[in-house]
Amino acid sequence: MGRETKVGKEMMDNDRIDQIIDKHQGDASSLIQILLEIQKENRWLPKEALEKVSRRLQVPLNRIQHIVTFYKAFSLVPRGRHEIHVCMGTACHVRGAPRVLDTVQDLTGIKPGETDGDLKFSLETVNCLGCCALGPVVEVNGKHHGKVAPAEIAEVLKKYD
Amino acid sequence: MPRVNSPEELEKTRQGIRSRRDPGRACVSICAGTGCLASGASEVIDAFNAEIKKQGLKAAVDTKGTGCPGFCEKGPVVVIYPEEICYLQVKPEDVAEIVSRTLKEKKVVDRLLFVDPVTNEKATCESDIPFYKNQVRNIIGDNIKMDPKNIEDYLALGGYSALAKALSRMTSEQVLEEVKKANLRGRGGGGFPTGRKWTESRNAPDKIKYVIVNADEGDPGAFMDRAILEGNPHSILEGLTIGAYAVGSHEGFIYVRQEYPLAVENVLIAIRQAEEVGLLGKNILGSGFDFTVTVHQGAGAFVSGESSALMTAIEGRVGEPRPKYIHTAVKGLWEKPSVLNNVETWANVPLIINKGADWFVRFGTEGSTGTKIFSLVGKINNTGLVEVPMGITLRDIIYKVGGGIPGGKRFKAVQTGGPSGGCIPEGKLDMKVDFDELTKAGSMMGSGGMIVMDEDTCMVDVARYFLDFLSDESCGKCVPCREGIRQMHKLLSDIGKGKGKEGDIELLEELSEVTRDASLCALGKSAPNPVLSTIRYFREEYEAHIREKRCPAYSCKELIAYHIDPDKCRACMMCLKKCPAEAIAGGKNRIHVIDQGKCTKCGTCLEVCPPRFGAVEKISGKPVPPPIPEEARTIVRESKGR
């Protein structure tokens, strides 16, 4: 959908990682902020990137592993071209989000947390997108689709290739 | 803007901004909060800019993307000043008409006004709309008047005058006393008296102290902190700086979840602007007081909103809680005394300093002073943020402000306090909403989420939903929370699937007790609330699931079936075409039948069946009638004209 993705590329630029680390003055307490920035640009965290961060910040790799597996924002595997976020917040839940999620799973063949084989879709559930008036909400590549019934989501997903 | 070096210079700058602004000048304010942006507000803003230029009004009209005024249900919200005409659900195609009719001819576009669903009366101004009329909007009322990215707007509305007052005319003790006297309680969930927390930090021996804004708003269905941070970031900075002055801190942190990119953006801009003007940094307003603020983004973990966990996260480590034998106010961030308050708590501080504790305590009840912002969501007509005085009844919030339940459905319960809160039934609607009353009813104030549920919501499913959330978010450090929640979740899932057994309710109660008593932090201690409160008020629903394998709300997937009544089906093909599972057999003039083996129970057939037929029904607790035989499926119609 016109959005540049970096899937397929082994790893983001080595220099770019250095730039991000330099921006935070190589400060170990900025570890999470640095990882967030790498995740944001590369959309996942390759092992090589983590090793580099570990070396530069003098933080053991196991601590970094602990962090990237604890927080939800990080992904250790490549992501699909299109990110689907199905909101499972309480307001969406009582307005039928589980039925929407079931339909999305049937249509894409993947479960939350997974990416399909040809890297088309990655599916995630989120705990609240904070636009409860539109519930149930599905967000695809940052675009909100509000008040979606299971039958409509099929139409929405068809538009992405 | 030049740097201001004293309270007098600040006033002069303020007067300068005000005198440059003509109060009679037309201004189009468009909500640019996350909710309205999701409904298409940025296209509306672009359309206004283009249309105003096209119609030659660029010199006479300002446009402004503002913070969230709360009426998300009717977004995008547009307010036109100076008349304060409020247009709702504005689309880009409405813009040309608004510009020519309202801005040029000074006439109102009737069809975009609020229409009262009961009286059918139209409301022109914000203040005439019942949703707003029944609120007391001390904190979020200014959001629609301000571009959060422009410090001049905040200054024009009197911003930073509380800080100037505190630094120049009050000692730090006096600031502390005023907050104590106002009896401000923490808006993040616990309701701990803010003044007491500040005093504890102030008196702690360490010289270095920190103040922190908790903006890790993780409760699903709650977004009041986001609205304040996005819409009025300077009010948080002002409150935080006043707090720092009171406790003697020179370094502050704002911990925001990365899921709120707009809040992060706006608060970073606000910090930069405040530093430029000299309202943050060295020697603020010539008082000799130094204070800096850093923003930290959370990486997505609900438990990191807990005070000790949040501080560990700021240190760059895994955000897990620790036992708090010593309060974080004494040993917190990097083992230094740290005052952590929620966004809304900080937003109240400038109001208290400016208008005084005596003014503040006029709102609310004796034990819970001031107003509280709730995020009113779920099965409610007016979804949005509502700010009301503490002590208002639930009934007034839901019916007067919220406009009641949509679709003529019956109210069943309201869930307050986030995932660790409880469900309050219809019988308690006249209860006063404050910290203590909600706790007495088995729920809690929490950060202010309020999720309304109607007759279609299953209470066992709601409890299961919250426990699912909490078991996912439990950090796993302590056993009672990790295992207790997991076991309760398993029991609730089984009950919802029709695999519940006699004794399960009692077992849930027992597990609840252990989890509550033995968990390390508030996540585990309050995790049983959803279970206990639903058992307390809706025990019969649990029993129906366990004994009759019936879901009274027709919600639990494993316990319901969809069925087409052959006597009512007119073979219109609607459900057949729309069924995503292709589970419906039939055809033109052939009565439709659902293949129960293929049905995924998505409910599409029920939604699309024309109401005049009403042939699709939900069944629970009894067997599905066998499909009618093939030969009986043909509908013989009388042909037209005979």
Q: Please tell me whether residues B349 and B389 are part of one structural domain.
A: no
Task: Answer whether B460 touches A (CB < 8 Å).
Answer: no
> Using CA atoms, how far apart are residues A126 and A142, in angstroms rounded to an integer?
13
**Confidence at A11, pLDDT banded by 50, 70, 90:** low
CB B368 within 8 A of CB B387: no
Rg (CA), chain A: 18
> Using CA atoms, how far apart are residues B16 and B19, in angstroms rounded to an integer?
5
- pLDDT of B361: 96
Task: Answer whether A137 touches B (CB < 8 Å).
Answer: yes
- pLDDT of B447: 84
- pLDDT of A4: 41
Q: Which of B310, B334, B360 is the last residue of a domain?
A: B360
If we measure between CA atoms, which residue out of B431, B434, B428, B429 comes closest to residue B363?
B434
- Give the chain B residue nearest A149 (alpha carbons): B604
> Using CA atoms, how far apart are residues B288 and B295, in angstroms rounded to an integer?
24
Mean pLDDT, chain B, as a whole number?
A: 93
The stretch B368-373 carries a mean pLDDT of 96
Tally C-beta pairs within 8 A across A and B. Answer: 146
Total of domains in chain B: 5
- Chain B 562-591, residues with CB within 8 Å of chain A CB atoms: 578, 580-581
Task: Answer whether A156 touches B (CB < 8 Å).
Answer: no
- Give me the CATH number covering residue B485: 1.20.1440.230
Q: Is residue B8 part of a domain?
A: no
pTM comes to 0.89
- Give me the CATH number covering residue B124: 3.40.30.10
> Using CA atoms, how far apart are residues B374 and B399, in angstroms rounded to an integer?
14
Whole domain around residue B218: which residue ranges? 159-360
State the CB neighbour count (10 A cutoff) for residue B587: 12
The arrangement of strands across the sheet holding B292-298 comes to: B292-298, B251-257, B210-215, B338-342
- pLDDT of B68: 92
Q: Please tell me whether residues B176 and B283 are part of one structural domain.
A: yes
pLDDT in tens, B524-550: 999 999 999 999 999 999 999 999 999
CB B354 within 8 A of CB B274: no
B486: pLDDT strictly greater than 80:
yes
pLDDT in tens, A26-51: 888 889 999 999 998 998 999 999 99
Task: Answer whether A120 touches B (CB < 8 Å).
Answer: no
Q: Please tell me whether residues B342 and B399 are part of one structural domain.
A: no
Q: Please tell me whether residues B223 and B327 are part of one structural domain.
A: yes
B401: pLDDT strictly greater than 60:
yes
Q: Please tell me whether residues B437 and B398 are part of one structural domain.
A: yes
Q: Please tell me whether residues B495 and B385 are part of one structural domain.
A: no
Q: Is residue B304 part of a domain?
A: yes
- Chain B 419-448, residues with CB within 8 Å of chain A CB atoms: 419
- Give me the CATH number covering residue B588: 3.30.70.20
- pLDDT of B296: 93
**Confidence at A3, pLDDT banded by 50, 70, 90:** very low
Task: Please judge whether A32 and B475 are an interchain contact, meaning their C-beta atoms are less than 8 angstroms apart.
Answer: no
Q: Please tell me whether residues B221 and B295 are part of one structural domain.
A: yes
Tokens representing B143?
């959001």
* Element (DSSP H or E) covering residue B252: strand B251-257
**Confidence at B642, pLDDT banded by 50, 70, 90:** very low
Chain B CB contacts of A134 under 8 Å are 35, 38-39
pLDDT in tens, B179-212: 999 999 999 878 999 999 999 999 999 999 999 9
- pLDDT of A143: 87
Backbone phi, psi, residue B538, to 5°: -135, 40
Chain position carrying tokens 């919220």? B402
Chain position carrying tokens 């083996």? B597
Contacts of B359 (CB under 8 A, 6+ apart): none
Distance in Å, alpha carbon of B177 to nearest chain A alpha carbon: 35
Q: Is residue B552 part of a domain?
A: no
Question: Percent of chain B at pLDDT above 70?
Answer: 99
A7: pLDDT strictly greater than 60:
no
**Confidence at A5, pLDDT banded by 50, 70, 90:** very low
Task: Answer whether A129 touches B (CB < 8 Å).
Answer: yes
Task: Please judge whether A36 and B258 are an interchain contact, meaning their C-beta atoms are less than 8 angstroms apart.
Answer: yes
> Using CA atoms, how far apart are residues B303 and B464, in angstroms rounded to an integer?
19
- Chain A 46-105, residues with CB within 8 Å of chain B CB atoms: 63, 66-67, 70-74, 88-91, 93-96, 98-99, 102-103
pLDDT in tens, B215-240: 998 888 889 999 999 999 999 999 99
- pLDDT of B164: 97
Q: Which of B403, B419, B454 is the last residue of a domain?
A: B454
Tokens representing B530?
């959803």
Distance in Å, alpha carbon of A3 to nearest chain B alpha carbon: 18
The DSSP code for A80 is P
Nearest 10 degrees: Cα torsion B346, B351, B356, B360: -80
- pLDDT of B640: 56
Q: Is residue B145 part of a domain?
A: no
User: Which segments of A11-145 are extended strands (E)?
Assistant: 82-87, 121-126, 138-140, 143-145
pLDDT in tens, A83-106: 999 999 888 988 889 989 999 999
Q: DSSP characters for B416-458?
A: ESGGGSEEEEGGGTT-B-SHHHHHHTT---TTSEEEEEETT--
The arrangement of strands across the sheet holding B61-66 comes to: B61-66, B26-31, B78-81, B85-87
Q: Please tell me whether residues B345 and B244 are part of one structural domain.
A: yes
Chain A CB contacts of B578 under 8 Å are 151
Q: Is residue B486 part of a domain?
A: yes
Q: Please tell me whether residues B26 and B115 are part of one structural domain.
A: yes
The ipTM is 0.83
Q: Is residue B16 part of a domain?
A: no
- pLDDT of A90: 87
If we measure between CA atoms, which residue out of B62, B91, B73, B76 comes closest to residue B30?
B76
> Using CA atoms, how far apart are residues B117 and B624, in angstroms rounded to an integer?
39
Q: Is residue B13 part of a domain?
A: no
Q: DSSP characters for B600-626?
A: ----HHHHHS-TTT--EEEEESSPPPP
- pLDDT of A154: 85
Task: Answer whether A106 touches B (CB < 8 Å).
Answer: yes
**Confidence at A10, pLDDT banded by 50, 70, 90:** low
Q: Please tell me whether residues B123 and B202 are part of one structural domain.
A: no
The larger pLDDT score, comparing residue B283 to residue B222, is at B283
> Using CA atoms, how far apart are residues B74 and B383, in angstroms rounded to an integer?
8
pLDDT in tens, B93-146: 999 999 999 999 999 999 999 998 778 889 999 889 989 999 999 999 999 999
The DSSP code for B419 is G
- pLDDT of B304: 82
Question: Percent of chain B at pLDDT above 90?
Answer: 80
CB A92 within 8 A of CB A132: yes
Task: Answer whether B375 touches A (CB < 8 Å).
Answer: yes
- Give me the CATH number covering residue B445: 3.10.20.600
Q: Please tell me whether residues B479 and B573 are part of one structural domain.
A: no
Q: Strand pairing partners for A42?
A: none
B166: pLDDT strictly greater than 80:
yes
**Confidence at B639, pLDDT banded by 50, 70, 90:** low
- Give me the CATH number covering residue B286: 3.40.50.11540
Q: Which of B499, B529, B547 is the last residue of a domain?
A: B547
The DSSP code for A153 is H
Q: Please tell me whether residues B41 and B184 are part of one structural domain.
A: no
> Among B300, B383, B603, whose Cβ lies nearest the Cβ of A71?
B300
DSSP3 helix / strand / coil % (chain B, rounded to 5): 45, 15, 40
The stretch B396-422 carries a mean pLDDT of 92
Task: Catalogue all structural domains in chain A, each as residue range(s) with its CATH number.
Answer: 14-70 (no CATH), 82-158 (3.40.30.10)
> Using CA atoms, how far apart are residues B100 and A83, in angstroms rounded to an integer?
41
Q: Is residue B152 part of a domain?
A: no
